[in-house]
Structure 1
């Protein structure tokens, strides 16, 4: 029974990593850029929901605060692209990585100064509601995390595979100049992707905050989510979910059976081994570019 409980806990945490990893993959899939501020966008989305919903701030109904926070993060993601990322057009990927890392520090500083640096709890109707299935204790928040993550992963995978805009996004990532000559509005497509990634970050932040407290340093979860994206396959949406689940599963079992000083290293050890033996990830999607 303990093993099953660890599996459930790891699955719920892994789905949070998977949701953040989806943001990494969405941006990389469409622009070949890596947004290292994705975890901090998750944190900011959680704090926006807290600000809208908690009685100490605006005190809006939870069902209004959630979509408002998601839309707000979509606008923030859109603005990040048109105000910052677009100005780096033609620069190396290293420049974008450095800018997004710096952007993450700014988000953490801003959230801390506005909402405080101490852990805070989102006033969510999911807190304290539990279900028991066959003697397995499962929080309603954990169940919602699992369902939402699987649904979003499948939805985006179908969207990228079967819609004109999804195919256009992939075309823009493979060859921006050729996509532009084919009539694809490359800049608009990329801005849309950043907006979607912002909304995905908000969903992950809301679900994460519903499971416990939130503080500005929660954005550092993006490091584990990036590891999950690489393990699953950086260009694969199902791979992001798979990688998140693998990392999430490793953590509770490592904490239970490995000395404390080593358990936190296990996800990164797996990332190291993956980069050595299968650098493109489990569900690798490697394409050759035409030049």
Structure 2
């Protein structure tokens, strides 16, 4: 029964890691750049939601504040690419990486200045409620995390495979030059992908803040999510979710059966093993480029 309880607990955390990892993969597939500010976008989205709700400044109901925060972060991601990232066009990828790391510091500083550095919890209509299955206790907040992750996965799958914009995004990610010649506005599509990454980050932030507490340093969770994205396969959306779930599940088991301190290092040890034995990730999507 302990094993089942640990599995349930790890699954909820893993879904949050997977949602953040989705943002890494979306941007990498579109631009071959890595956004190390993705975790900080998650943190910022959570704080914006906190500021909009009755625990913040605007006293909006939870079910109105969440969609509004998602929309605001979607616009933020779009403008971030339009105004800042696009100016790095033609520069080395390492320059973009350094820029996103700097953006992460700026977001953490801004969040700390506006909302403070003390941990805060997002009050939800389902806070403190539990579901019991025999001896296994599942918090409603954890169930919401899993359900929301599955729903978002289905929506993204349908979006990328059944809509013109989704197909255009896939085409742009696979071959930008060919997509441009086919009439696809590649740069605008890339900005939309940054906006979509902001949306997924905010959903992850709301779910994270609703099941625990949030503070500016929570943005560093993006490092663990990046490990999850690499483990699952950096070019694979399903791989991002799988990697997140694996990381989320391995932590409580490492803490319970090895030692409490090993729960933090276990994901990176797994990352090391994956890089050694399967460098492209579990669900690798490797495309050879012709020179």
Same fold (TM over 0.5): yes
- Give the structure 2 partner of residue 195 of structure 1: 195
* TM-score after normalising by structure 2: 0.97
Change (3 A) 1:70 1:56: closer
Q: Which residue matches 1:285?
A: 285
Question: 1:69-148, aligned counterparts within 5 Å?
Answer: 69-148=69-148
Segments of structure 1 that go 5 or more residues without pairing to the other structure are none
Most deviating of 122-131 and 197-206: 122-131
Superposed CA deviations along residues 44-98 of structure 1, whole A, max 9, x for unmatched, are 0000000000344211111111111000100110111001110011111111110
Structure 2 match to 1:183: 183
Aligned to 1:159: 159
Give the 3 Å change call, closer, same or farther, for CA 63–261 of structure 1 in structure 2.
closer
Q: Which 5+ residue runs of structure 2 have no aligned equivalent?
A: none
Root mean square deviation of aligned Cα = 1.3
Question: Do structure 1's residue 215 and structure 2's residue 215 form an aligned pair?
Answer: yes
Q: Deviations over 1:111-145 (max 9, x none)?
A: 00000001011121121111112231011110010
Which has the larger displacement, 146-155 or 96-105? 146-155
- CA displacement, residues 229-274 of structure 1 (integer Å, 9 cap, x when unaligned): 0000111111111000000011001011112343321100110111
Q: Is the 1:22–1:153 Cα contact (8 Å) retained in structure 2?
A: no
Matched, 1:19 2:47: no
Cα separation, 2, equivalents of 1:15 and 1:213: 17
Q: TM-score, normalised by structure 1?
A: 0.97
What SS class does the counterpart of residue 212 from structure 1 fall into? coil
**How far does residue 276 in structure 1 lie from its aligned partner after superposition?**
1.2
Judge conservation of contact 2:50–2:56 (CA < 8 Å) in 1: no
Deviations 1:200-242, CA, capped at 9 Å, x for gaps? 1100000000001110000111011000100001111111110
Contact 2:13/2:248 (<8 A) preserved: yes
Partner of 2:137, secondary structure, is strand
1:36 maps to what in 2?
Answer: 36
Query: How far apart, in 2, do the equivalents of 1:248 and 1:116 lie?
Result: 28
**C-alpha separation between the residues in 2 aligned to 1:78 and 1:198?**
8
For the residue of structure 1 that corresponds to 2:36, the secondary structure is coil
CA distance in 2, matches of 1:205, 1:56: 16
Number of residue pairs matched? 291
1:245-284 matched pairs, under 5 angstroms? 245-284=245-284
3-state SS, counterpart of residue 138 of structure 2: strand
Matches within 5 A, 1:45-60: 45-60=45-60
Separation in structure 1 between the aligned mates of residue 176 and residue 209 of structure 2, nearest angstrom: 37
CA positional deviation for 1:176? 1.8
CA contact (8 A) 1:121 1:213 kept: yes
- Secondary structure of 1:3's counterpart equals helix
Separation (CA, whole Å) in 2 of partners of 1:264 and 1:56: 31
Structure 1 range deviating more: 89-98 or 50-59: 50-59
